[in-house]
Structure 1
């Protein structure tokens, strides 16, 4: 072997980096057919911290200890009922599937986890993508899977729908990537647990350019924003979605927001402008005491909700800077 060939061989193995050889030959698209940041949202990435802590591939907090894949969620079980397609992230042959588990959200308790022990993936599909690569999608909606073992699928082919089967605390699809049995972070192409990187985002990624563009919107997003006449129950949001806009009247006018992936110390800054254009409310929630995978808050005044078009907004403020902002104009009927 020539000197140049030896150098090339060593470079291909990426020794000591946690990066598998020849990753450039394998590319992934999104595992969903929905608009990231609008219809569906990045909830969690693989945990790149090898210890008891947790860090996403970008040294952020969108991960939990031991998590090995990418979670893309819809807001609530109401969205599951509408049917959101899960697609093959890369071409390959279906290696196996399961499609009979019910869609039901589990709680964070040990008893809830034990109820799906051994079948945490729920309904899912495993695809052999060749050259030792394997992809798996989990938590699909019962009865939605369209493929069977042995089927050849192309990238983008519909596999099923987002659901809440198995160990799902919120409706989502979980994408796992493996090469020769080793778990790989698709954002960086590195072994899960190999450490995060604060360098350029998606350096070494397995994702194709279109997927990178969609996923680059960030992990913190406003899932819902609206008006209410009473405090909003967080537990109902993930089941029913946001409450309908109330009619004019009542005893209170409240703005509410539902946000994912907050960092410790983040605050939500609310504003309400009445139909006549006058400021009605402006204030902030208390700083969150720890990182929150999902969080809701509300604010307002004990005054009847006036008819007309209201403007409401929320800013996610982190270390004094706004990282996410959203506003809505809402027509309140008299």
Structure 2
């Protein structure tokens, strides 16, 4: 329901924007009426309903007089109305888009609640919790990996420089060790030289190799989590992302089962087995289907994932 609430807030803001645009147009129209009346009072010319081109023609005899600006004020206000009308159309389109998304989400929630057997909801909630825990652990392990790679790279640079004093004398102290001025990450990372670069590449500790190793370890979800500084926001994002994926998986599975069975009427023979997989039979208006889930992962290397097979039963 969180998605529906969020979309309802988006719709409310879009509706407020539409009303604001309408109010702006009405204000401009009232100002236009006043400016038209000023022209009528000044020279007896009524510009009501006239286009900009027609106003220019009627203004022609008064170009050399101060009344010319009264005509110009009417034209300017027409431009204001035109611009405000364009903004209203844009705001109404944005509102329509948010309303459509809200309608889709409401129908999706309704479909899930009406069509999804509880056992499927339980199975996918179990998947979500396992995925959540795995990603949190992976994120923490990723922080350790980043520090490990950073230290390895910096230690390797120091070791290489100290073992090649003839090439890196400027970075060394009198004792032949790295000068304290250059011993921080910033200065070490900016020390050049082809031989050092080649050495780091050989050990896969150059910038590109480290980024690749980090990406391979973390995956896209954890990499994005790493961009969110506050833990509360980071975990909220993860929960929302997995909830959306859970719904997507649920709708996909229900559609695949319903394609075989028609509307589901009995899922009492569908169970979560001791291995945590979803197996059994589902009966519907059109027939019966066998559901078989093959799960994998859930340990340190790979997040738990599954593949569900749906077969017609004759």
TM > 0.5 fold call: no
Q: Of Structure 1 and Structure 2, which has the larger fraction of its residues in strand?
A: 1
Q: Of Structure 1 and Structure 2, which has the larger fraction of its residues in helix?
A: 2
Task: From the CA coordinates, give the structure whose radius of gyration is larger.
Answer: 2
TM bin, normalised by shorter chain, reads under 0.3
In the superposition, the TM-score normalised over structure 1's length comes to 0.19
